[in-house]
Amino acid sequence: MKKHVWRPLWVVVVLVVIILLARWVYVPADFGVQDRGYTFGYHRLGNEKEWQAQTPRYQGNNYCADCHEEQTARLAGGSHLDFPCENCHSAAGEHPTKPEKLAIDRSRALCLRCHVKLFMPSSGRNTIPGIDPERHNGTGDCVDCHNPHKPNLEEM
Amino acid sequence: MKRRDFLKHAAVFVSGVSVSLSALELIDPKEVLAANPDLRWGFLVDTYKCVGCGFCVKGCKIENDIPLEANVTRTWVERYVMTKNGEVLMDSPRGAQDGYTSKLIDHGASGKKLASDKEIAQAFFVPKLCNQCSTPACVQVCPVGATYQTADGVVLVDRKWCIGCGYCIMGCPYGVRFFHPVEHVADKCTFCYHRISNGKTTACVQACAFGARQIGNLRDPNDPVAKVVMKQRVGVLRDEYGTKPNVYYIGLNEEVR
């Protein structure tokens, strides 16, 4: 072939080589078609492990009960028996090391999430004892009168 | 060549050629297993049990580092109020991260509406989250291979690979994807992949005191979620999109979109 054909052709060849080299450096070895095929599984496999390695914050009631036996025993017989501790006591994380002390939410707003009386037929909300927040106890905290661990009205 | 021989050879040739190549291909056991794995995460929502407290939304945000002050969320709870004259009222203020504490239904720019108790025919809450579809539209549209589905059926986003183009956010028919305000990549519910892969339940399931949310293995016939999905009347959202969602609802109404 003639020189003037080769010259641009070389430019193209060099460009292709550079792009392929850059791709080889940049794209990790585990990137490609995985279990779910090309359409749904084209990805970097290592990312699945990255997601799995994220540390959980919420630990669950059993984790709390392991040390705080006395406190969890107080829930017995009350309607908050199965209520998740961490919903009010905040996520345990690596407690007792990190954080050493949990921030407890004793606010009125927290109780009102469930205990504002709403008319919701065909919903579990209707079966929960509720109040009208504008008429019941001003803006005072519920926990001043009610025991959040055993909120039964008879034992107030 | 004799005519008889020609016909013989032609018959052998044609029958040989007509055996399709795929019939001769060896089956890879790995591929067969991948198509039918023994783990497929599925989710079950009981709308009768949900009370709209929003602890699931708050728990999800804290567990997964989604800022509470940003108006984006991986899961949210919607309130539906149907009046006796056929009106459908719906709201989900800030994804219900602070629960429902008012009878006023938030219609955004058009103000707040009040349906009096006498007018209400039925009213209930519907928790929403990623449906982890079997044929996810959001994954198909990703131009860089940053979002994908794992073998056990969870759709994830590779934060190092995502270029933030937003196609997937537009592509999801359920609107479960959003732009992460801190990470600056597309974000979505992962079914708490870090928790379910390590023997825990999701943060939202754990935060729910009423058993309205459950997660399980749809391939295990003894799994409580799989049992309900197989034996009871459950519905999925927007079936007509053909995405084959894997979040099942008990007590779904046609008014729920």
Of A32, A52, A72, the residue that ends a domain is: A52
Chain A residues touching B210 at Cβ < 8 A = 124
Are B194 and A35 an interchain contact pair (Cβ–Cβ within 8 Å)?
Answer: no
Cα Rg of chain A, angstroms: 30
> Residues A104, A137: one domain?
yes
Q: What is the distance in angstroms between the Cα of A138 and the nearest Cα belonging to chain B?
A: 15
> Residues A106, A136: one domain?
yes
| Token representation of residue B185 | 């990549």
Check whether domain B41-133+188-250 has CATH 3.30.70.20, yes or no: yes
**Measured in Å, how far apart are chain A's first and last C-alpha atoms?**
100
Catalogue the E-assigned strands of chain A: 31-34, 42-44
Are A36 and B149 an interchain contact pair (Cβ–Cβ within 8 Å)?
Answer: yes
| Token representation of residue B127 | 């928790």
pLDDT tens-digit profile of B10-69?
A: 999 988 888 766 676 776 666 655 566 789 999 999 999 999 999 999 999 999 999 999
Are B63 and A56 an interchain contact pair (Cβ–Cβ within 8 Å)?
Answer: yes
Closest CA to B31 of A35, A32, A48, A44: A35
Q: What is the pLDDT along chain A (156 residues), one digit of tens a residue?
A: 788 999 999 999 999 999 999 999 999 999 999 888 899 999 999 999 999 999 999 999 999 999 999 888 888 888 898 899 999 999 999 999 989 999 999 999 999 999 999 999 989 999 999 999 999 988 889 999 999 998 887 767
Catalogue the E-assigned strands of A30-126: 31-34, 42-44
> Residues A95, A120: one domain?
yes
Task: Please state which CATH class domain B137-187 belongs to.
Answer: alpha beta
Q: Which distant-in-sequence residues (6+ apart) come within 8 Å of B119 by Cβ?
A: B83, B84, B85
> Residues A26, A70: one domain?
no
> Residues A70, A21: one domain?
no
> Residues A40, A82: one domain?
no
> Residues A42, A69: one domain?
no
A vs B, Cβ pairs < 8 A, gives 152
d(CA B232, CA B180): 37
> Residues A67, A124: one domain?
yes
Number of domains making up chain A: 2
> Residues A87, A21: one domain?
no
d(CA B41, CA B217): 5
Domain that holds residue A94: 61-155
